[in-house]
Amino acid sequence: MSKFWSPFVKDLVPYVPGEQPKLAKLVKLNTNENPYGPSPKAIAAMQAELGDNLRLYPDPNSDRLKQAVADYYGVSTAQVFVGNGSDEVLAHAFHGLFQHGRSLLFPDVTYSFYPVYCGLYGIAYEALPLDEQFQIRVEDYARPNGGIIFPNPNAPTGCALGLAAIERLLKANPDTVVLVDEAYIDFGGETAISLVNQYPNLLVSQTLSKSRSLAGLRVGLAVGHPDLIEALERIKNSFNSYPLDRMAIAGAAAAFEDQAYFQQTCQAVIASREALVAAMSDLGFEVLPSAANFVFARHPQRDAAELAAALREHGVIVRHFKQQRIAQFLRITIGAPEQNQALLDALGQIL
């Protein structure tokens, strides 16, 4: 606190990201990073950008990347927005599409950045409870609102919502924007991008941080009606004209173009997830059905915070949230097979 702070800054409640430990030896299963490296073609494309050209500003519109995304999804570049991580894309959407005076709706258990953006942009919100199985009840969202946002699969539960349910939600809310945050869609969900031509109120965001292993590069995107994209462009061009640097544009485009590597690494993560779910169930955990690159699990006899602390002593870090409804759960990222084994060995010893 300082006398130089504005009242606005004093009242901000910032997001707290998962720990990035300085100790390299830890088995890091706490922030849903991909255990496999980025596409070798993406790395080569970034290396090719490292040179004299860095004296020049990057393309403010990131056209090369927009084209790669548009080609991949069969949409036009006017339907694509890109930003510095999907967190930035989401921030612009909150600012430009949800600030209408009425409450934004999202689930009570969800990505904890949403209420932070509401605080930043002065947006009222209502958190609607998930059902007992931690699923979104679509009927609850048929009420007056200033917009709707949820991750699909949801975070931190990993539970996916089907396209039919998303369509019901879109039909019930034709006058407000429905933002589907597909940070984890490539690990087992079905993308709603196939619906953007039918529903002008649908915006779908994705990230290259998880399924394309580029968390360190900071690239996110959104696909939707050109009018929605134009709103995001207006905000972006009033804030930072160059959110993506030269390396990011080249690396992200190459990652989208390398479909073989992408499929192979996603399949490996999915196979590891299924093996981990089975092994954790054998240890007595209740694991929610996951379509993501993490599992959300509780042990009926063990306190989750104590388990997380004990795992840390065994060199394994996982994510624990203090929010009351999920305080007995751990969110565990799917690692490489040897990391998952280290987790299971540690759990075996602790239990």
Ligand X SMILES: *Cc1c(COP(=O)(O)O)cnc(C)c1O
Q: Does residue 181 belong to the site contacting ligand X (CB under 6 A)?
A: yes
Interface characters, 78-117, with ligand X (x: CB under 6 A): -------xxx-----------------------x------
State the CB neighbour count (10 A cutoff) for residue 256: 23
| Binding residue for ligand X, selected from 209, 272, 339, 340, defined by CB under 6 A | 209
DSSP-derived 3-state class of residue 220: strand
C-beta closer to ligand X: residue 220 or 335: 220
Q: Does residue 213 belong to the site contacting ligand X (CB under 6 A)?
A: no
CB of 213 to ligand X, least distance (A): 11
Residue with tokens 């007995």: 328
| Binding residue for ligand X, selected from 35, 220, 251, 335, defined by CB under 6 A | 220
C-beta closer to ligand X: residue 253 or 342: 253
CB of 34 to ligand X, least distance (A): 11
DSSP-derived 3-state class of residue 234: helix
Structure tokens at 323: 């929010």
The residues, any chain, with a CB within 8 Å of residue 168's CB and separated by 6 or more, are 138
The footprint of ligand X on residues 32-71 (CB under 6 A) is: none
Stretch (H or E) spanning 151: strand 147-151
C-beta closer to ligand X: residue 127 or 279: 127
Residue spans of alpha helices (H) in the chain? 7-11, 40-49, 63-73, 85-97, 113-121, 163-172, 226-236, 246-257, 259-282, 304-313, 337-350
| Binding residue for ligand X, selected from 183, 192, 255, 276, defined by CB under 6 A | 183
Query: How far apart are alpha carbons 152 and 150 in whole angstroms?
Result: 6
Q: Does residue 207 belong to the site contacting ligand X (CB under 6 A)?
A: yes
CB of 295 to ligand X, least distance (A): 14
CB of 299 to ligand X, least distance (A): 24
C-beta closer to ligand X: residue 181 or 245: 181
Q: Does residue 136 belong to the site contacting ligand X (CB under 6 A)?
A: no
C-beta closer to ligand X: residue 334 or 346: 334
Query: How far apart are alpha carbons 156 and 152 in whole angstroms?
Result: 10
C-beta closer to ligand X: residue 146 or 243: 243
CA 137 to mean position of chain CA atoms: 21
CB 212 within 8 A of CB 260: no
Q: Does residue 215 belong to the site contacting ligand X (CB under 6 A)?
A: yes
CB 178 within 8 A of CB 135: no
Q: Does residue 151 belong to the site contacting ligand X (CB under 6 A)?
A: yes
Structure tokens at 332: 């565990």
Binding site for ligand X (CB under 6 A): 85-87, 111, 151, 155, 181, 183, 207, 209, 215, 220
